[in-house]
């Protein structure tokens, strides 16, 4: 589990594991009010191993303070994962954190939005990711509705994600509307990652996916959300689909790292949905994603070959 992250203590963690004080020199400007294999006992000839992925020489620690203190030192990188094999690959790629996003609803469960994803779905998938023993921080998304009923319900859902799912921290969508509850969670010892800009859980209410912060009013509103989340004790904040200039400016104005998705490359770090990066998708992929692989094609070719081999009694390779 991660430590309490209420007070932003900024310590540089060097590659030999030692730390030294190094507060990020950010100017605060306030304009607004506030692979494991063989579990079935079978052996195979070739092991499609994720271990072949080269491991860059970056020290990664599974703590919120490690992620928070990367701000101003090097870009932070996160990816999503939804099951053990994917988490194993993502961890071995040496990310700074894994997010079990409620994007699992659209990426692997076949829903049109993230709204149908339940707390039980999140617990099950978070636990599957934990079983990969990732060596980085493991953040679980709080699904739709769980922050809206009562603080007790919110606390209970976060507690389950930590205790039953094995998450180190919880991500919660929303700005000043959820900041008071986040402050109480943080005081209880639950590390929280914020999420501002486009909030996929509100997509029905806002009528679709779009950029945020393009007007002065909306940019100021986003700034207020970010500052409020900082004050509530978030150790990092995801910014989704923010206007690039707003995102760049905001990352210099707040203490927690601003981790962008679809905001250009000026934030303190980046996160993407892993299936999008891999070209492993049955739906639409956002325009800002650069796929690194066409896994749809690779898998379809391989499976088609297997089916043909069996059907036409060719030798399996």
- Active site (catalytic) residues: 240
Stretch that binds ligand KIV, among 59-67, 94-102, 245-253, 305-313 (CB under 6 A): 94-102
- Provide the minimum distance between the beta carbon of 106 and ligand KIV in the complex, in angstroms, as a whole number: 9
Site for ligand KIV in 58-87 (CB under 6 A): 80
Q: Among 65, 91, 103, 251, which residue interacts with ligand KIV (rule: CB under 6 A)? A: 103
Rule CB under 6 A: say whether 238 interacts with ligand KIV. Answer: yes
Alpha-carbon distance 246 to 230, whole Å?
17
**Binding-site string for ligand KIV from residue 134 to residue 163, where x marks contact by CB under 6 A and - marks none:** -------x----------------------
Stretch that binds ligand KIV, among 46-54, 97-105, 186-194, 286-294 (CB under 6 A): 97-105
Nearer residue to ligand KIV within complex by CB, 13 or 198 = 198
Start-to-end CA span in the chain (Å): 44
SS (H, E, C) 181-245: HHHHHHHHCCCEEEEEECCHHHHHHHCCCCCECCCHHHHHHHHHHHHHHHHHCCCEEEEECECHH
Q: Among 102, 183, 230, 268, which residue interacts with ligand KIV (rule: CB under 6 A)? A: 102
Rule CB under 6 A: say whether 90 interacts with ligand KIV. Answer: no
Q: Among 95, 170, 271, 278, which residue interacts with ligand KIV (rule: CB under 6 A)? A: 271
The token pair that represents 229 in the structure block: 């989340």
Rule CB under 6 A: say whether 101 interacts with ligand KIV. Answer: yes
Q: Among 170, 261, 263, 277, which residue interacts with ligand KIV (rule: CB under 6 A)? A: 261
- Provide the minimum distance between the beta carbon of 141 and ligand KIV in the complex, in angstroms, as a whole number: 5
Nearest 5°: phi and psi at 196? Answer: -125, 175
The token pair that represents 181 in the structure block: 């509850």
Nearer residue to ligand KIV within complex by CB, 233 or 262 = 262
Size of the site for ligand KIV (CB under 6 A): 11
Rule CB under 6 A: say whether 132 interacts with ligand KIV. Answer: no
The residue ranges that bind ligand KIV (CB under 6 A) are 80, 99, 101-103, 141, 238, 240, 261, 271, 273
């Amino acid at each position: 589990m991660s430590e309490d992250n209420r007070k932003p203590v900024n310590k540089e963690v060097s590659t030999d594991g030692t730390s030294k004080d190094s507060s990020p020199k950010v100017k605060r400007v306030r304009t607004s009010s506030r692979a494991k294999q063989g579990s079935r006992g079978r052996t195979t000839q070739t092991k499609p191993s994720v271990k072949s992925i080269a491991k860059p020489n970056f020290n990664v620690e599974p703590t919120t303070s490690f992620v928070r203190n990367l701000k101003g030192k090097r870009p932070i990188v996160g990816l999503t994962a939804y099951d053990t094999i994917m988490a194993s690959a993502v961890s071995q790629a040496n990310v700074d954190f894994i997010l079990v996003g409620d994007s699992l609803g659209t990426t692997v469960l076949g829903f049109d939005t993230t709204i149908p994803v339940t707390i039980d779905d999140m617990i099950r998938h978070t636990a599957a990711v934990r079983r990969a023993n990732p060596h980085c921080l493991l953040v679980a998304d709080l699904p739709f509705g769980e922050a809206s009923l009562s603080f007790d319900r919110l606390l209970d859902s976060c507690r389950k994600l930590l205790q039953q799912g094995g998450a180190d921290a919880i991500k919660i969508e929303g700005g000043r509307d959820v900041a008071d509850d986040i402050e109480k969670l943080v005081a209880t010892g639950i590390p929280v990652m914020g999420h501002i800009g486009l909030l996929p859980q509100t997509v029905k209410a806002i009528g679709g996916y779009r950029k945020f912060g393009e007007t002065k009013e909306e940019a100021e509103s986003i700034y207020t959300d970010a500052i409020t989340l900082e004050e509530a004790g978030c150790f990092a904040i995801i910014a989704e689909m923010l206007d690039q200039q707003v995102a760049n400016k905001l990352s210099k104005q707040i203490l927690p790292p601003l981790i962008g998705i679809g905001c250009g490359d000026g934030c303190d770090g980046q996160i993407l949905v892993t299936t999008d990066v891999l070209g492993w998708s049955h739906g639409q992929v956002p325009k800002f994603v650069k796929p690194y692989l066409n896994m749809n094609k690779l898998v379809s070719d391989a499976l088609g070959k297997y089916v043909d081999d069996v059907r036409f009694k060719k030798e399996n390779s």
